Amino acid sequence: MTPRAKTIQIFLPAGDPRGIRIAEITTRIVQVIEVPRSLMAEFLAMPESTQVALYFLVGETEDGSDDTVYVGQTGDLRARLGAHNKEKDFWQRALVLISRTNSLTQTHALFLEWYCLQAIRAAGRFRDENGNKGSRPFTPAPLEADCLEIFETGQALIATLGFPLFDAVAGPAAIAAAPEMFYCQRRGADGRGYYTADGFVVLKDSCGPLENTASQGGVQAERLRAPLIASGLLKVDGKQLRFTRDHLFRTPSGAASVLLGRSANGWIEWMTKDRQTLESLKREKVTA
C-alpha cells in the first residue's frame, strides 16, 4: 500500500531543536515526545509525564555499530523513567507516546508494548534490551483496532523524529527507492547490497575474507569488524566472515571496508552487474 501524505507538526517547548521535541499529526490525538536523557528532569515536571504511556529508550554504542532500544509501558511514567534513568546505562534519548486527550489505557499500553516489540524484532534494525519475547495480552477487538491505528501514527512520528525502529533496513520501501543491486567481488569477497536514503545496506550471506590486510587499513577494518563479530552479525565461516542478517552502514566505504578487511573507497568498490560504480551512478550524476 502506498503511504498517504501527512502533515506532521513538531513543537519545541524550549525553542531548542536538540532539546525536548513534541511531534504529532495534526488531525490525530497521538503525540510522541522525544526527551534527551540530560533533560529528563524537565520532562518529568511537564503535565504530559503524568499519563499512561508507551515509551522507548534508544541508544547506540560508542563506535556507532549497534543501535539499541528498550520498549516499556506504564501508568506511572515519572516513577518508571526515573528508575530507568538511575539503573540503565545504554540509552541517550526517550521517546514517549501519549494521547493528547489522556485516553490511552493500560490495556492499550500493554498491547502496544507487545506489538511494538514484535515489529522491532521483525525489522531487525535495532537490537532490543527487553530480554524476553513476552506473550500477546488479551485485548478486546475494539481496543485492538484502536491500538493498530495508534501504532500507525506512532510509527510515522517516531521515524520523523529520526528513529526508524520499525523499518527493515532492506525492506520493500528501501528496495523500491533503490532498485539497483550493487556488488563487491574483490579479494575473496562476495558482497551484495543497496544504497538507500539511510546509508548502504549489506545483505545477509554477503561474505569477505576472514583475515585483515597487513596494513594500517587492515587495522582500521579490524576495529570496525570486531564489534560486529561480537554481536553475531558477522560469523566465521571457514576462511570467510559471513553476514548473518542485513546490516545498514552509514557510508558505502564503511560497508566495503568491513567486507574486504581493509580500507576501501566504497563509491568505487560497489558496482552494478554491468560494472558501473556507485560513484558514477550517484555522485557523478549529481555533479553533472
Q: What is the pLDDT of residue 30?
A: 96
**Which structural domain, as residue segments, surrounds residue 180?**
172-287
Structural domain ending residue among the three candidates 119, 138, 160: 160
Q: Say how far apart CA 251 and CA 244 lie, in whole Å.
A: 20
pLDDT per position as a tens digit, 157-183: 999 999 999 988 765 555 555 568 999
Residue 166 lies in a domain: no
Residues 225 and 283 in one domain: yes
Specify whether the CB–CB gap between 224 and 257 falls below 8 A.
yes
pLDDT per position as a tens digit, 223-232: 889 989 988 8
Residue 165 lies in a domain: no
Alpha helices in the chain (DSSP H): 40-44, 77-87, 106-123, 141-160, 172-177, 216-230, 252-260, 266-269, 278, 284-287
How many domains is the chain built from?
Answer: 2
Residues 50 and 143 in one domain: yes
Residues 122 and 226 in one domain: no
HEC per residue, 88-131: CCCCCEEEEEEECCCCCCHHHHHHHHHHHHHHHHHHCCCEECCC
Q: What is the pLDDT of residue 177?
A: 54
pLDDT per position as a tens digit, 198-229: 889 999 999 999 998 877 667 888 888 998 99
Residues 53 and 146 in one domain: yes
Q: Say how far apart CA 283 and CA 267 lie, in whole Å.
A: 8
Residue 1 lies in a domain: no
Q: What is the pLDDT of residue 61?
A: 66
Q: What is the pLDDT of residue 14?
A: 93
Residues 142 and 69 in one domain: yes
Residue 176 lies in a domain: yes
Specify whether the CB–CB gap between 116 and 110 falls below 8 A.
no
Mean pLDDT of 184-196: 91
The cell for 112 is 502496544
Residues 147 and 279 in one domain: no
Is residue 153 scored above 70 in pLDDT?
A: yes
The cell for 253 is 566505504
Is residue 192 scored above 80 in pLDDT?
A: yes
Mean pLDDT of 125-136: 84
Residues 142 and 179 in one domain: no
CA neighbor of 192 nearest in space, from 176, 181, 208, 200: 181
Structural domain ending residue among the three candidates 114, 129, 160: 160
Residues 183 and 282 in one domain: yes
Structural domain ending residue among the three candidates 132, 160, 188: 160
Question: Which has more confidence, 75 or 4?
Answer: 75
Q: Say how far apart CA 142 and CA 182 lie, in whole Å.
A: 46
pTM for the structure as a whole: 0.75
